[in-house]
Amino acid sequence: MYLTRIALNAKRRETMQALSSPQLLHGAVEHSFHGSRQRNLWRIDWLGDTCYLLILSVGQGDFTHIVDQFGYSDPEWQWETKNYDPFLARLKVGQVWQFRLCANPTRSSPTDKDEESGRGKVFAHVTQDQQKQWLLKRAENCGFLLDENAFNVVHTQWLKFSKGQKDSNKVTLHMVTFEGILTVSDVERFRQSLLSGIGREKAYGCGLLTIASIRGEHNE
């Protein structure tokens, strides 16, 4: 597995359009890889005033077209790719990590059925308490423990865009970014959560969980 970070020029018109219409970035990410199609996880991160596209992929990609379309012309602002496997191999039960997750917290209504699929309609959790409870309920099955006082919702965003060429295919997406501290409780489940993501709408930049060391904490 490989983790790639690409700096995006948020002042470019093409980038501003892509940030508000994530299906454009989804297409750009998918076209970065050759061979059999793989489902790659990605998300947008802001570090200060700089916007980054973060991609977790099975193989190494060629992101030249993303840089040309959404990035910077300066050669120093290309992309950085790291092998993720050695990091995944060091995971152990009891390790404490700082985490970030951009997700789409939702609930399905068993009584309100969709006319086409017959399944319960999906609704976004809109309050911070609902959003935090959504993640707390999934934590153990995802291989980690959470204290409700040790993580927060740091950003929320509603996006409305057209899926494909037809305006009738409208998508409304609620993106929620969580940050905080977690403890690894099950290595295999946790590793799978890092690789496969958490929740819905992964094609549109949701689901990617990343972790980083806490200052003073030694996860050896």
CATH at residue 24: 3.30.70
Q: Is residue 218 part of a domain?
A: no
Segment 182-207, tens digit of pLDDT: 999 999 999 999 999 999 999 999 99
Segment 127-149, tens digit of pLDDT: 999 999 999 999 999 999 999 99
Q: Which domain holds residue 67?
A: 2-87
Q: Answer yes or no: do 72 and 118 share one domain.
A: no
Find out whether 100 and 197 touch, Cβ atoms under 8 Å.
no
Q: Answer yes or no: do 57 and 166 share one domain.
A: no
Segment 145-167, tens digit of pLDDT: 999 999 999 999 988 887 765 55
Q: Is residue 27 part of a domain?
A: yes
4, β-bridge pairs: 55, 81
Q: Answer yes or no: do 41 and 128 share one domain.
A: no
The yes-or-no verdict on residue 118 having pLDDT over 60 is: no
Q: With bands split at pLDDT 50, 70 and 90, how would you rate the model's confidence at 67?
A: very high
> What single DSSP character describes residue 202?
G
Q: Answer yes or no: do 78 and 107 share one domain.
A: no
Euclidean distance between CA atoms 183 and 185, whole angstroms: 6
This prediction's pTM: 0.88
